[in-house]
Structure 1
Amino acid sequence: MRRTAVLGSAGTLLAGALIAGAIAAPAATAEGRHHGDSAAYGATVAAERAAKKGIDWQDCPADWALEKPIQCGWVSVPLDYAKPNGRQIKIAVDRIGNTGSTSERQGALIYNPGGPGGSGMAFPRRVVTKNAIWADAAKAYDFVGFDPRGVGHSSPISCVDPQEFVKAPKLDPVPHSEADKRAQRKLAAEYADGCKERSGWMLPQMTTPNTARDLDVIRAALGEKKLNYLGVSYGTYLGAVYGTLFPSHVRRMIVDSVVNPSKEKIWYEANLDQDIAFEGRFLDWKKWVAQNDATFHIGTTADKVQRNYDKLRAAAKKAPFGGLVGPAELDGLFQSAAYYDSSWVPVASTWSKYLAGDTQALVDAAAPDLSDIQGNIASENGNAVYTAVECTDAQWPTSWQKWDRDNTRLNRDYPFLTWGNAWLNLPCATWGVKQQTPVEVKTGKGLPPVLITQSTRDAATPYAGAVELHKRFKGSRLITEQDAGSHGITNLTNPCINDRVKSYLLTGALDSRDVTCGPHATPKP
């Protein structure tokens, strides 16, 4: 799950004939029991069609920034799985072949980086850039990425003009009056209206179960009998829903930094849980900044660092830096430090430069680049998909009193993210299309052991989510990274985790019991 008060961040086979047994008959799919036969039947029809058609792999379009030998293609899926012969949309996919021998090859590994709204198309570049963590897995697997429905090249949706979307400075997320709250409520309602106006034809079908069905159609189009899958952040929820709907279609599944799959948490409560976890991780970073005061000169204790952050926000509110960076933009920059350890040094260094008189460094780091048209289109699209999926997936409170009460209470003890997170999600309170009931995530017949990885201090997907999915997926194994909090840990250097992920992918082997690993290395200034 990605989160930002302003905007941010919370990401094969040659086409062949259908392998015998690749597609289950409608009556045999778990989805038939979960969601009624119409969508299950539609998913089966679409998968059979895709298996026969395959994927016409070509060099990627030049403006996709995916170098050879990565190849790109398209998979057609129904907009509405209850109407498999109705309107179709195209899902963009890419791949790079396995680097080992034909005998070493174990199929395709499909990746989703999260969001909702993240593109997985950069995944094959881990092979091109010779990412050492994934080198052995790349010998055995084609690395496959895709743009989920509504994202990027896959019938992208939009809620507002991209250049308007990135304009800054935004309103201060922290309200200081009822008038401030009314202004934010107005913006949220207008955003929801904009989504329906610009993308209403697609919104009712922008759900996690539909994306899971798309994933199964991609699997079939690749000629794969079973799915090998790596999902991070929201990609873990996509994996959990896929594993529930298509348990017998899973071969290997790794879920990293886990969304709590409980129906009660999707999605309102999950966002409240984030507010608490982000406060804890922001504190971790402030302590680290204080420990490295000789380098950064920001404050010698976490409390002093916080007081200086409050001063920085107040200065930005009084006169936005560069005319563009107000409190909202600052919160967006500093959230990245609570998300990823890799941001600890850059964010602290930028702040340190500001305190030494270099305001431009702060503007460069936190302000939108209004000249980056393609980047702004991607940012707006990512936020539109995030909103559309979370708002359509589940019922949200419609009472402003409930939102106000819950967030006022949380903000007292967890002020770093609470109100920014509330405004980001408030369009769901006035959402213009029918909201669904989340899937009851559970172990179905044929689901193999799933590997779960999670750090204990993760802010975007708190640790309890991994425990909950572990409980629901019988036979799964949980690798806990103790005393760490980076979001997405399978792509970080920690041999205790890396070796187990590699072993699972190459042999299917898992430890006989859950494992606790020490933390990866703390960043050094």
Structure 2
Amino acid sequence: MRRTAVLGSAGTLIAGTLIVGAMTAPSASADAQQNNGGNAEARGVRAAAARAAQQGIDWKDCPADWSLPKPIQCGYVSVPLDYAKPNGRTIRIAVDRIGNTGTAGERQGALIYNPGGPGGSGMRFPLRVTSKNPLWTKTSKAYDFVGFDPRGVGRSTPISCVDPQESVKAPKLDPVPDSEADKRVQRKLAKDYADGCKKRSRTMLPHMTTPNTARDMDVIRAALGEKKLNYLGVSYGTYLGGVYATLFPKHTRRMIVDSVVNPSREKIWYQANLDQDVAFEMRWDDWKAWVAKNDAAYHIGNTPQKVQKQWEKLRAAAKKNPIGGVVGPAELLGFFQSAPYYDSSWPEVAGVWSKYLAGDEKALVEAAGPDMSDTAGNISAENGNAVYTAVECADAKWPTSWKKWNRDNTRLHRDYPFLTWSNAWMNLPCATWGAPQRTPLNVGTGKGATKVLIVQSARDAATPYDGAVELHQRLKGSRLITERNAGSHGVTGLVNPCINERVDDYLLKGTLGRRDVTCDPHATPKPAEAKDAARTAAKAAADLPTVH
């Protein structure tokens, strides 16, 4: 997972809620209905899609520096920067694909993927086929796997907010303020970041919205020659999928959304990030309990309380004297937060920490320190953070009162200190954003829309469980698969036959089942030797969803 700061997208947690009862889907709002009808953006996307269908995609072998080997092919799709002006400036969206591995008779079309963010690249999706990932063997027989860089990301007219060389400098300020003076410094940094976005990416910012990315997906669909969209979205990709299904219900065929952002207008995006802080604390507690249970392997502490004290001790030491000169509290959090995100990271984080406590700080510096190679070209953490900020700031109207931010985050930090202030500073540029902020779309589908499959772990930290419940209510006829007593982010990428078989049945046969399903959790990670843990985690990270 690539990131330079804590990144947010979420919903509130309904503790212990596993079974969803009967639900009534709210109808799409007037603005969604208008976008489906005849307003300027709707006319614009129809015109752009018609052009794309005629032009198609000039598929070629991918450039060598894209690290996408044959038989994966790459190309571009042109879309309007502003769909209200479809004959105005265009931007290019990078796409890639690998054809279905089955026969022509088995093919069911293209499956388009978004890993999350906002700011994540989906271009690695075809590698699930070339790497022969067993979870996707059946699906790849029926579908071309298609990835893309959303607008502003990577090779799709990338945006920037700061010099990438500056973004990797470490150590950064401790996100937890000790005084009002510390808060003033952070507020200035946030304002400077917002100003930098406006200065470096001015023309793109007004158009960096989730509805526009959904419109881009419809143009990609047309360029692929597909009448309807098949889609897999994870994390933020679930919100993108919900917006697409709202705007283009008649263009949606099969859609899986995994680890769901709460689509409520009241949540997008300020409240969603506050809710996320609560869920992260819960999952942090889960990891501490696992570390304590495996104290014989890691020697960090044999109770969660002792593990927490060791964390506080490590944090204080790094604040006083940054480890290796570059790892302070902010960098520690950037590394340790992968444990609440993905339990596949549990052995790695514990192993690196264990080695540090045994006197070897090299592994911790390598894991948590700045990646100086992550500054070249368009694919960088700086670009990902810029897109994250631009989309969330543009999608919704954010509070501009510092008193509100200060009150809300001070209150939350008292009980949920792991993530709260870091998440606040990550999002604070939206309080002084220098581009239009819109009212979020009212996500929802009506009668006759495609029935969507929703997959969610009950203890997800990044996208808490009630987001799945909310989306289930809004997408008429959808089904919800809950993985109980589990909290990893990105459930469809995990080995759990109860989930994997239902995903295959839906994509291959359209089978949803007559009711929602609760599955037992996937296997809990086992302790690993520290020398093996980093290798295992690095291999797994190549296919993890991106969450901001």
TM-score by length of 2: 0.91
Given the superposition, is the C-alpha separation of residues 377 and 106 from structure 1 closer, same or farther in structure 2, using an over 3 Å criterion? closer
Q: Report the Cα distance in structure 2 between the residues aligned to 1:273 and 1:364, rounded to whole angstroms.
A: 31
Contact 2:111–2:230 under 8 Å retained in 1: yes
Given the superposition, is the C-alpha separation of residues 402 and 6 from structure 1 closer, same or farther in structure 2, using an over 3 Å criterion? same
State the 1:32 CA deviation. Answer: 2.9
1:120 — aligned with what? 122
Greater RCO structure (CA 8 Å; 6+ sep) = 2
Contact 2:396–2:438 under 8 Å retained in 1: yes
1:167 — aligned with what? 169
2:301 — aligned with what? 299
Given the superposition, is the C-alpha separation of residues 302 and 5 from structure 1 closer, same or farther in structure 2, using an over 3 Å criterion? farther
Secondary structure of the residue that 2:376 maps to in structure 1?
helix
Secondary structure of the residue that 2:411 maps to in structure 1?
helix
State the 1:376 CA deviation. Answer: 8.7
Q: Report the Cα distance in structure 2 between the residues aligned to 1:318 and 1:34, rounded to whole angstroms.
A: 56
Secondary structure of the residue that 1:152 maps to in structure 2?
coil
Contact 1:5–1:421 under 8 Å retained in 2: no
State the 1:448 CA deviation. Answer: 1.1
Contact 2:79–2:91 under 8 Å retained in 1: yes
Deviations 1:219-238 (A, max 9, x none): 00000000000000000000
Given the superposition, is the C-alpha separation of residues 450 and 153 from structure 1 closer, same or farther in structure 2, using an over 3 Å criterion? same
2:396 — aligned with what? 394
Q: Report the Cα distance in structure 2 between the residues aligned to 1:185 and 1:56, rounded to whole angstroms.
A: 46
1:206 — aligned with what? 208
Secondary structure of the residue that 2:326 maps to in structure 1?
coil
Contact 1:4–1:420 under 8 Å retained in 2: no
Letter in 2 for 1:321: I
Q: 1:500 aligns with which of 502, 508, 511?
A: 502
1:463-482 → structure 2 map (5 Å cutoff): 463-482=465-484
Q: Report the Cα distance in structure 1 between the residues aligned to 2:256 and 2:324, rounded to whole angstroms.
A: 43
Q: Report the Cα distance in structure 2 between the residues aligned to 1:34 and 1:407, rounded to whole angstroms.
A: 38
1:317 — aligned with what? 319
Letter in 2 for 1:123: F
State the 1:106 CA deviation. Answer: 0.2
State the 1:447 CA deviation. Answer: 1.4
Q: Report the Cα distance in structure 2 between the residues aligned to 1:132 and 1:283, rounded to whole angstroms.
A: 32
State the 1:35 CA deviation. Answer: 8.4
1:289 — aligned with what? 291
Q: Report the Cα distance in structure 2 between the residues aligned to 1:471 and 1:3, rounded to whole angstroms.
A: 33
Q: Report the Cα distance in structure 2 between the residues aligned to 1:447 and 1:4, rounded to whole angstroms.
A: 36
Contact 2:4–2:381 under 8 Å retained in 1: no
Q: Report the Cα distance in structure 2 between the residues aligned to 1:149 and 1:229, rounded to whole angstroms.
A: 17
Q: Report the Cα distance in structure 1 between the residues aligned to 2:122 and 2:378, rounded to whole angstroms.
A: 18
Q: Report the Cα distance in structure 1 between the residues aligned to 2:455 and 2:44, rounded to whole angstroms.
A: 33
Q: Report the Cα distance in structure 2 between the residues aligned to 1:112 and 1:9, rounded to whole angstroms.
A: 16
Given the superposition, is the C-alpha separation of residues 348 and 270 from structure 1 closer, same or farther in structure 2, using an over 3 Å criterion? same
Q: Report the Cα distance in structure 1 between the residues aligned to 2:2 and 2:175, rounded to whole angstroms.
A: 13
Contact 1:124–1:143 under 8 Å retained in 2: yes
State the 1:435 CA deviation. Answer: 0.2
Given the superposition, is the C-alpha separation of residues 3 and 405 from structure 1 closer, same or farther in structure 2, using an over 3 Å criterion? farther
1:397-416 → structure 2 map (5 Å cutoff): 397-416=399-418
Q: Report the Cα distance in structure 2 between the residues aligned to 1:434 and 1:136, rounded to whole angstroms.
A: 44
Letter in 1 for 2:127: R
Contact 1:452–1:478 under 8 Å retained in 2: yes
Deviations 1:113-169 (A, max 9, x none): 000000000000000000000000000000000000000000000000001011110
1:68 — aligned with what? 70
Q: 1:176 aligns with which of 175, 178, 194?
A: 178
Deviations 1:162-194 (A, max 9, x none): 010111100000001001100100000000000
Contact 1:104–1:140 under 8 Å retained in 2: yes
Q: Report the Cα distance in structure 2 between the residues aligned to 1:296 and 1:392, rounded to whole angstroms.
A: 44
Q: Report the Cα distance in structure 2 between the residues aligned to 1:42 and 1:376, rounded to whole angstroms.
A: 28
State the 1:342 CA deviation. Answer: 1.1
Q: 2:145 aligns with which of 127, 135, 143?
A: 143
Q: 2:426 aligns with which of 424, 427, 435?
A: 424
Q: Report the Cα distance in structure 1 between the residues aligned to 2:514 and 2:508, rounded to whole angstroms.
A: 17
Contact 1:8–1:332 under 8 Å retained in 2: no
Given the superposition, is the C-alpha separation of residues 9 and 460 from structure 1 closer, same or farther in structure 2, using an over 3 Å criterion? closer
Cα RMSD for the two superposed structures: 1.5
Deviations 1:311-366 (A, max 9, x none): 00000000001110000000111100010011100000000000000011110000
TM-score by length of 1: 0.94
1:243 — aligned with what? 245
Q: Report the Cα distance in structure 2 between the residues aligned to 1:243 and 1:320, rounded to whole angstroms.
A: 47
Deviations 1:203-230 (A, max 9, x none): 0000000000000000000000000000
1:261-272 → structure 2 map (5 Å cutoff): 261-272=263-274
Contact 1:243–1:444 under 8 Å retained in 2: no
Q: 1:515 aligns with which of 499, 514, 517?
A: 517
2:5 — aligned with what? 6
Q: Report the Cα distance in structure 1 between the residues aligned to 2:377 and 2:494, rounded to whole angstroms.
A: 26
1:426-441 → structure 2 map (5 Å cutoff): 426-441=428-443
2:23 — aligned with what? none
Q: Report the Cα distance in structure 1 between the residues aligned to 2:445 and 2:38, rounded to whole angstroms.
A: 18
Contact 2:228–2:252 under 8 Å retained in 1: yes
Matched, 1:186 2:188: yes
State the 1:36 CA deviation. Answer: 6.4
Q: Report the Cα distance in structure 2 between the residues aligned to 1:31 and 1:101, rounded to whole angstroms.
A: 39
Greater mean alpha carbon deviation, residues 35-44 or residues 377-386: 35-44
